[in-house]
Amino acid sequence: MIENPFAADEVGTVYARGRPYHHPRSLARIRSALGVGRVERALDVACGTGMSSVALAEHAGTVIGLDVSPEMLGVARRASNVAYMLAYAERMPFPPATFDAVTCCSGVHWFDQEPFFAELRRVLRPGAWVGLYDHYFMKMQGVHGFGDWVRELFAQYPLPPRNTQVGDPRAETPNGFELVTNEFFEDPIAMTQEVFVDYQLTVSHCVAAVERGTPRAEVRAWLLASTAPLYDGVETRTVEFMGSITTLRVLAEVPS
């Protein structure tokens, strides 16, 4: 059973503090891949603390950020052309053909995907575009023990189950959409140990551990102790993140 852990107590504050603000770089790539300009009305699904919504607001006249977690929306970033709404991705409270574009960052794998894409098909106008993107750490430059640490991390705090998402080779293009591009790119970010630990506390394995009852302070203490050797004598390390982008267009007619 797939359960989204990002409604846990105080997770919004932790997420807002620990997540890198990579969204503008990913959105620039999405627009370039699609060859599109600004749009009038855009929707950001699984908007969380609004980092993705505020980034999208640079490319749209009006943005609605949608999320199921009050904890995340309670600390969402503000912008003059962004509004937020509490709702499920599979049941959106919008009339048909409302939006010109939709983005979703690091969220599709938590959804029941068939009804989600049916809802997208309903609320998007024909020809509208969809940008699905993700961002996750891969390795730490110049640190040979990083792989061993990652294995220890996921043994200590396993990743919760998630759905296969569009863009994965195992996934099919959803009905009513055309797959335009799949792209992966490197996104290196310099991080101190404190910043890297704060980031780990936002990843689903640590969020889920806290939701299951492990005190967040205990998780953070383990992360600080286990990452200390990675930062031995060094103030910052460059963490190599991998960005992924999948772009879709809405077909004028749904194939039978």
**Backbone dihedral angles phi then psi of residue 51, each to the nearest 5 degrees:** -60, -45
Please, what is the average pLDDT of the chain? Answer: 92
CB 4 within 8 A of CB 21: no
Q: Which domains does the chain have, with CATH numbers?
A: 11-140+160-190+240-250 (3.40.50.150)
Please count the other Cβ atoms lying within 10 Å of the Cβ belonging to residue 253.
7
What mean pLDDT comes out for the span 96-115?
Answer: 93
Confidence of residue 233 (pLDDT cuts 50, 70, 90): confident
| % of residues, the chain, pLDDT over 70 | 93
Higher pLDDT, 21 or 173: 21
Rounded percentage of the chain residues whose pLDDT exceeds 90: 81
Token reading at 47? 């908007």
Q: What pLDDT does residue 170 have?
A: 63
- CA atoms of 26 and 129, how far apart (whole Å): 15
pLDDT tier for residue 109 given thresholds of 50, 70 and 90: confident
Q: What confidence score (pLDDT) does residue 252 get?
A: 81
pLDDT by residue (tens digit) across 220-230?
A: 999 999 999 99
Contact 26, 135 (CB under 8 A): yes
Mean pLDDT, residues 180-196: 96
Q: 7 falls in which pLDDT band (50, 70, 90)?
A: low
User: At 129, which amino acid appears?
Assistant: W
Alpha carbon 42 to its chain centroid, in Å, reads: 17
Q: Check residue 162 and give its pLDDT.
A: 75
Look at residue 3 in the predicted model and tell me its pLDDT.
65
More confident residue, 252 or 124: 124
Is residue 113 scored above 90 in pLDDT? no
Q: Which of 135, 113, 101, 96 is nearest to 15 (CA)?
A: 135
